[in-house]
Amino acid sequence: MKFRAKIVDAACLHQFTRVSNMIAKLAKTCTLRISPNKLNFILSDKLASGGVSMWCELEQENFFSEFQMEGVSAENNEIYLELTSENLSRALKTTQNARSLKIKLTNKHFPCLTISVELLSVSSSSRIVTHDIPITIIPRRLWKDLQEPSVPDSDVSIYLPVLKTMRSVVEKMKNISNHLTLSHSLAESPSSTELLSSVYTINLPVSELQLPSSGKERTCLILCSRTQASENTSQNRNPEEMAEVHIDIKKLLQFLAGQQVNPTKAICNIVNNRIVHFDLLHEDVSLQYFIPALS
């Protein structure tokens, strides 16, 4: 197996650093999948046991000026390795004034992902800072558990409001409950498109956006504590007209706090009482994040 890549464009370098910082906030350890055309950062906890899953994809041609790799075989031209996300993020913190970045697989008494940063100096000379990140090579027999997650058919799919706004709302709600309900009306014309704030229930407006699946306009996403959700369902809402999912509020906050890529589109797919799937799209990065429903 061989892997060597280089980034020389400052904008690409900064974006790659932001992606690594985001991954470090979302996952303590992750799998890096290297293929001829893409890099993937993967977190594959068991959704059935309450864990989250993540699939982050980078098109290599959008980041690297040089990219060479040889996988485990001609038929399986891929490399899967496990690393500590914070180690990669910490290594890339030195790239703020870098001229270039090189990444390669090495073996220095143990397998490493070696990061070499060429830094600019006051004089015409430059200096190289090297970081050796310990990794674990994942054998071929385990690859089947690290494939792109299948996206179940959602009951409702909407564009989210600005994620910073959503994060500030959820941070206030964590003092009320450990759980959160994401819900959305299945009706064609939801009754509220304004931002409403109360102790338990908040409607996040997305009235100027369209539903990805149907093109309908004027809609809102409702966030409320689990207790209040039960009361609202029984008193004010017909459960057959709502799609909702109860989730751990800390897992949602971890996802929102980790966002540093400023997606051009942020889509929320709700599978009623099963899972919420966030799909963030940027011109050169995409992120899928799955949070299972609480039992």
Closest by CA position to 10, among listed 124, 100, 92, 93: 100
User: Which single residue is written with the structure tokens 């558990």?
Assistant: 145
CATH T-level topology, domain 2-146: Proliferating Cell Nuclear Antigen (3.70.10)
Beta bridge partners of 168: none
Check residue 92 and give its pLDDT. Answer: 93
Check residue 235 and give its pLDDT. Answer: 45
Closest by CA position to 181, among listed 273, 50, 254, 277: 273
Put simply, whether the predicted model's pTM sits higher than 0.95 gets the answer: no
Check residue 290 and give its pLDDT. Answer: 94
| CATH (one of 3.70.10.10, 3.40.50.1000, 2.60.40.420, 3.30.360.10) for 156-292 | 3.70.10.10
Check residue 48 and give its pLDDT. Answer: 52
Rounded distance between C-alpha atoms, residue 291 and residue 182, angstroms? 11
User: Which single residue is written with the structure tokens 């906050």?
Assistant: 253
Check residue 287 and give its pLDDT. Answer: 94
What is the phi/psi pair of residue 173, to 5°? -75, -20
Sign of the C-alpha dihedral computed for residues 148, 291, 157 and 219 taken in this order: negative
In 10 A of CB 248, how many CB atoms?
17
Check residue 141 and give its pLDDT. Answer: 93
Amino acid at 241: E
Angle ∠(48,52,57) on CA atoms, nearest 5: 125
Domain with CATH 3.70.10.10 in the chain: 2-146, 156-292
Tens digit of each residue's pLDDT, the chain (295 residues): 999 999 999 999 999 999 999 999 999 999 999 999 999 999 987 655 568 999 999 999 999 999 999 998 989 999 999 999 999 999 998 888 889 999 999 998 899 999 999 987 766 677 899 999 999 999 999 999 899 888 778 888 888 878 888 888 888 888 888 888 887 776 644 433 332 223 334 555 543 334 454 443 334 455 554 444 444 444 454 555 677 888 998 999 999 988 877 788 888 898 988 999 999 988 889 999 999 998 7
